[in-house]
């Protein structure tokens, strides 16, 4: 369980504990990981930088020391709002390194661990979960690179699910609309991105956690929250020119909603 120190990650870890999993909570902030693990009754907490390829295999070994690996969740992510030209080079690198490569290294470590277990006569197969985003399904002005990273891992989930199905390894991605977490709160109040996100539906971390956990053990590759917002985003991707003409109206609506909630 990566990025489990707070927000969606903590909610997913807590949901898995409730469902009887022995959960290893990890986070780049080792103190936060340990605190979450104690708070929710997880089996352990550990520091883990998802951009470190070798550390992913070390975490897999730690998890397997607690119990046979059944589920690996790639949740760690960063989000910086702003147009592509406005983002700093550091933020560009972090978005790609954490949101894309962190998932890549995590998936590779999980698959290797599942295969090692099966070869040793242990349980075969398992589930990999990925926290993507509704923004993976279409263009999101003001979050262009963030959305691109989420589109990348959604594509990765679908392709891996097909590649690994014969081994009993299933890959799933959850694509929620805006979630009321620190990532959303950190966006510029007068920015394009926050207004667009607020024009949709704010989802609770616990809803994301339940929806992702419900996919484990099934052949469902991804799910959007709420479902109707997924349909809208897919239509935007199919006809971006006409649909994005509505963007100023959506942004204005989001700002009005934000004022009404204060």
Residue spans of the domains in the chain: they are 7-261
- Band of pLDDT at residue 196, cut at 50, 70 and 90: low
Q: Which residue, among 184, 75, 76, 88, has the nearest Cα to 145 in the 3D structure? A: 88
Q: Which residue, among 137, 224, 145, 138, has the nearest Cα to 179 in the 3D structure? A: 224
- Band of pLDDT at residue 232, cut at 50, 70 and 90: confident
- Band of pLDDT at residue 247, cut at 50, 70 and 90: low
What CA–CA distances, in Å, run from 124 to 34, 66, 90, 104, 172?
29, 17, 40, 21, 17
The reported pLDDT for the residue numbered 261 is: 42
222 φ, ψ to 5°? -150, 160
The reported pLDDT for the residue numbered 195 is: 60
Name the class of domain 7-261. alpha beta
What integer is the mean pLDDT of 171-189? 82
251 pLDDT more than 50 = no
pTM for the predicted model, two decimal places: 0.88
What integer is the mean pLDDT of 133-152? 93
Tell me the pLDDT tens digit for each residue of 6-54.
999 999 999 999 999 999 999 999 999 999 999 999 999 999 999 999 9
Give the H/E segment covering residue 190: none
What integer is the mean pLDDT of 55-69? 98
138 pLDDT more than 90 = no
The reported pLDDT for the residue numbered 234 is: 82
């Amino acid at each position: 369980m990566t990025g489990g120190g707070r927000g969606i990650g903590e909610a997913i870890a807590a949901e898995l504990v409730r469902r009887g999993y022995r959960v290893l909570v990890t986070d780049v902030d080792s103190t936060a990981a340990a605190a979450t693990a104690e708070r929710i009754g997880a089996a352990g907490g550990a520091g883990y930088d998802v951009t470190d390829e070798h550390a992913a295999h070390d975490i897999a070994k730690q998890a397997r020391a607690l119990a046979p690996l059944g589920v690996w969740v790639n949740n760690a992510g960063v989000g910086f709002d702003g147009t592509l030209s406005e983002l700093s080079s550091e933020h560009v690198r972090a978005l790609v390194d954490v949101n894309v490569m962190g998932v890549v290294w995590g998936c590779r470590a999980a698959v290797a661990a599942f295969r090692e277990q099966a070869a040793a006569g242990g349980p075969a197969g398992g589930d990999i979960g990925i926290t993507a985003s509704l923004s993976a399904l279409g263009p999101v002005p003001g979050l262009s690179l963030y959305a691109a990273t989420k589109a990348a891992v959604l594509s990765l989930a679908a392709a891996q699910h097909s590649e690994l199905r014969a081994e009993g390894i299933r890959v799933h991605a959850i694509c929620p609309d805006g979630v009321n977490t620190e990532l959303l709160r950190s966006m510029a109040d007068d920015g394009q991105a926050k207004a667009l996100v607020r024009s949709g539906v704010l989802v609770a971390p616990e809803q994301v956690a339940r929806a992702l956990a419900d996919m484990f053990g099934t052949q469902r590759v991804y799910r959007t929250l709420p479902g109707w917002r997924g349909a809208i985003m897919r239509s935007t991707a199919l006809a971006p020119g006409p649909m994005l003409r509505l963007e100023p109206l959506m942004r204005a609506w989001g700002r009005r909603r934000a004022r009404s909630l204060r």
